[in-house]
Amino acid sequence: MDATEFRRRGKEMVDLIADYLENIEQRPVYPDVEPGYLRSLIPEEAPEESETYEDVVKDIERVIMPGVTHWHSPYFYAYFPTANSFPAMLADMLSGAIGCIGFSWAASPACTELETVMMDWLGKMLKLPEDFIAGTHGQGGGVIQFCATLGTTPSCAFDHITELGPICNAEKIWMHIDAAYAGSSFICPEFRPLLNGIEFADSFNFNPHKWLLVNFDCSTMWVRKRSDLIGAFKMDPLYLKHDHQESGLVTDYRHWQIPLGRRFRSLKMWFVFRMYGLKGLQDYIRKHVELAKEFESLVRADQRFEISADVVLGLVCFRLKGSNEVNETLLKRINNGRKIHLVPCQLSGQFVLRFAVCARTTESRHIREAWRLITQLAEEVMQELPH
């Protein structure tokens, strides 16, 4: 493929992506395939001779789509959201084209510097303490020994970090805070109190690739003292040395991580932050929380169901009042129907259904439709099983 063909195919691919996302809700959210389905659909060996681009594209619908779980369908309520936005996809294309490996400042200064600035932008959106914002110097070491979670995966529960923090500090235990999902919500002043106690933490991370419209992967971590990390991962062979590294003015991110290479991910953040603005991002979070509250009200209004955990953000944990068996059967029916997709969790020995507002395009009508399906199947299950 030369540049002329790339121009044409690139535009076609953008159309294909836009068509896919615009019509995604017509597809069954969960695929109807058995393990190994794909092997029989493609040859045993790679082709000897080159094929055409048309041949490849034809196989997207034939081979790939039947086995796709559509995470961006408004009927997807499983796990947690994974972010998806048009600006982030465009930035990802550019990142692919630049294709630099950002292990040091010299390996591509823009890649390193934009990342540093985007981390500061994002840290300030969350009102992180000053110490976490770039520009601090310190020393030390240590390994991660303690992890507090803000927004656990099963039920979005919150550890009491204002209680755990002083103990960790007094005992000199490294305190890391994982807010993979909930972290995005801290850009809204009304949710920022959930992060109180961050003053005690040594490190903190969350995933903009979950709930901040930056496509996978983009997981952001701050440390109070960057020397803690650099001391553990420093890697300085002669062939990676560059003129500025001793100046103390540049960051070489290879020392902050286990791998050497890294992608130019901050472009996605830059595009998304600029094109949505803080207000747009806050509106997005609030809308998802409202949709979760709407679902919670529907559950609460139905005497047959109960809410199993506080609904703080975009996740609702609920169940039929009754046995675990009846709830397991209900979930199986829901997922076999392939119209909506949910996963369970276990809370205090109870089998609980998790309803996470996930897709960017989920609206109130999808929530109501999901609830209609759930109650219809619940009706059937309750007639068949003792509960």
Ligand X SMILES: *Cc1c(COP(=O)(O)O)cnc(C)c1O
Q: Is 245 in the site for ligand X (CB under 6 A)?
A: no
Q: Is 203 in the site for ligand X (CB under 6 A)?
A: no
Nearer to ligand X, 322 or 344 (CB): 344
Nearer to ligand X, 72 or 320 (CB): 72
Nearer to ligand X, 74 or 81 (CB): 81
Q: Is 220 in the site for ligand X (CB under 6 A)?
A: no
Closest separation in Å from C-beta 156 to ligand X: 8
Find where tokens 């400042």 sit. 105
Answer whether 316's CB lies under 8 Å from 291's CB.
no
- Using the contact rule CB under 6 A, the part of the chain among 115-123, 151-159, 166-174, 313-321 near ligand X is 151-159
Residue 127 backbone class (left: φ over 0; alpha: ψ -120 to 50; beta: rest): left
Backbone φ and ψ of 159, nearest 5°: -70, 150
Give the Å distances, CA to CA, from 257 to 179, 226, 233, 262.
19, 11, 6, 9
Enumerate residues 40-99 that contact ligand X by CB under 6 A: 80
Closest separation in Å from C-beta 182 to ligand X: 8
Nearer to ligand X, 117 or 345 (CB): 345
Q: Which of 85, 104, 149, 266 binds ligand X (CB under 6 A)?
A: 149
Q: Is 204 in the site for ligand X (CB under 6 A)?
A: no
- Using the contact rule CB under 6 A, the part of the chain among 14-22, 69-77, 85-93, 176-184 near ligand X is 176-184
Closest separation in Å from C-beta 151 to ligand X: 6
Closest separation in Å from C-beta 287 to ligand X: 20
Closest separation in Å from C-beta 158 to ligand X: 11
355 has which bridge partners?
A: 316
Q: Is 152 in the site for ligand X (CB under 6 A)?
A: yes
Closest separation in Å from C-beta 78 to ligand X: 12
Cα–Cα distance for residue pair 273/163, rounded to 1 Å = 33
Q: Is 112 in the site for ligand X (CB under 6 A)?
A: no
Q: Is 324 in the site for ligand X (CB under 6 A)?
A: no
150 has which bridge partners?
A: 158
Amino acid identity of residue 327, one-letter, is N
Q: Is 25 in the site for ligand X (CB under 6 A)?
A: no
Total interface residues for ligand X by CB under 6 A: 10
Find where tokens 């999902």 sit. 181
232-241 contact pairs (CB < 8 A, 24+): 232/141, 232/143, 233/257, 233/258, 235/260, 240/103, 240/104
Q: Is 160 exposed, middle or buried (0-12, 13-18, 19+ CB in 10 A)?
A: exposed
CB atoms within 10 A of CB 178: 21
Cα–Cα distance for residue pair 328/309, rounded to 1 Å = 18
- Using the contact rule CB under 6 A, the part of the chain among 1-9, 108-116, 175-183, 245-253 near ligand X is 175-183
Q: Which of 125, 180, 269, 289 binds ligand X (CB under 6 A)?
A: 180
Q: Is 297 in the site for ligand X (CB under 6 A)?
A: no
352 has which bridge partners?
A: 345
Q: Is 195 in the site for ligand X (CB under 6 A)?
A: no
For the stretch 268-291, what's the b/e string if a residue is b when 16 or more beta carbons lie within 10 angstroms of its beta carbon? bbbbbbeebeeeebbebbebbbeb
| Residue with the shortest CB distance to ligand X | 180
Answer whether 315's CB lies under 8 Å from 345's CB.
no
Query: Which residues, 6 or more positions from 150, have their beta carbon under 8 angstroms from its beta carbon?
Result: 158, 159, 161, 177, 178, 179, 182, 183, 194, 195
Amino acid identity of residue 125, one-letter, is M
Q: Which of 184, 185, 207, 215 binds ligand X (CB under 6 A)?
A: 207
Nearer to ligand X, 187 or 356 (CB): 356
Nearer to ligand X, 95 or 220 (CB): 220
Write the DSSP symbol of residue 341. Answer: B
Nearer to ligand X, 153 or 324 (CB): 153
Nearer to ligand X, 95 or 149 (CB): 149
316 has which bridge partners?
A: 355
Q: Which of 108, 116, 169, 219 binds ligand X (CB under 6 A)?
A: 219
| Residues in contact with ligand X by the rule CB under 6 A | 80, 149, 151-153, 178, 180-181, 207, 219
